[in-house]
A and B are shown apart, each in its own frame.
Chain A
Amino acid sequence: MHDDDHEDDHDEHNPVDEHSALHLELHRAVDELGKYAIEIEFDPKGGIPKEKMKQFIDDLMRTVTMNCMNNGADLVGHVKSFLLVDDGNIMSSIVDEHKPTKIKDAVESDVIYKSKFVLHVIVHGIWDDKIRNLTLEVLPGVCKKWNMPYNIIADYFDVEKSIAHHT
């Protein structure tokens, strides 16, 4: 397969402009999903056992999800994360707050040192800015609880376009 370069999101010659607004009208009707993405670096001093790291990820994702659900969201769209380390990754997903977080562990070693973590939160019923606030509100507390030093590398709130916000 070819390279996986990120496409430029600027689309100056979008041919959809030439077409009927009917399709877009429906899209607007379902445009009730908010989302937020953040990339964080975790650097636990001396490393952290992998199993403990998975518990931390579970706690973080679940806390963010429940904070959204307790503050206006009425449906989890998809809360998903990807933790990248030198020898693998851990993928996690929540689509229903009443069910356990699905975690796929593909890390070889038993101890995790520095890692990069992407969290993507999509819920129905509240908007992007509120999801961002609700995420950042609980992040310090969960990290403190697990003694996990963190550094926010990228906050995608300012650069992401909303899911189906057609103008």
Chain B
Amino acid sequence: MLSFIIRRGFGMLISTILVITITFILMQLIPGDPASVLLGSNATPEQVAQLRTTWGLDQSMPVQFYRYFVNFVQGDLGQSLFYQKPVLQMIGQRAETSIFLGIMALFVVIGVGIPAGVISSLTQNSWTDNVLLLVALAGASIPSFWLGLMLMILIAGKWHLLPSSGFTSVFETGNLANLKNLILPAFSLGFVNAALVARTARSSMLDVLRADYITTARAKGLAERVVVVKHALRNASIPIITVISFTFASLVSGAVVTENVFALPGVGSLIVQSVLKRDYPMIQGIMMVVAILYVLVNFGTDLAYASLDPRIRYH
């Protein structure tokens, strides 16, 4: 297991370096001189020259990359142009909302997706199965922001059951009830992915339920619940975990739009504002932080695989 962790860890390191490199290269593509773009059209040539020296833009590309890399390793992602604060600090301030939203959406993904898939597989070809399949199929094609807006119209606007937008920190106010504001966003964000998980869980369970050891388990008189949960679901879990790990990227993507729809002060709405304001250091910082998180999640998924299925460790 240790050699497996080391090998995967090395791969993770390479991915991280590549992520930083790609971000650096992309930022070089901004047309024109970054210093004058960032200072705006009113800047004097002296100001531009000064900023170029401060940022080291007058140096060669490899030197620039080296500085950029060293800064990153030291946790310095630069200064936001709009907020005039360190990028990492801004991301930190906005992280709470996004993390709560992500966790709650993940609850929807797992809590709705897996049971729906399992029920569907156990009642194959019945009307329950067909209805669940149909909902899953439609769910996977509905844009999450549209679903969010529709829920907002009905549940928040018409029936006044839940708040429609905004969020204040749970830590600062100490009020857990604030999480109520995240129920609608989390549901609209999680539903699309729950649909994918349900489809995967269903087909994976169907494969496993036909296996001989399931027949054996039933034959020796085990309770159906034990057969399904302990024998079938555990063996069907690898593809399900894969899809759930994919949902990380799609949850982040969805969160960008969902936070915007529900006016939530998260990292997603931060990047949209930064794009509209051309706050390049902020954009670059969010890109890197999110991509590296993704690499870490993948690493975690690999470890989860290896502990669920020992055969994987030797590949």
> Do these two chains interact?
no
Which residues of B does A touch, CB under 8 Å?
Answer: none
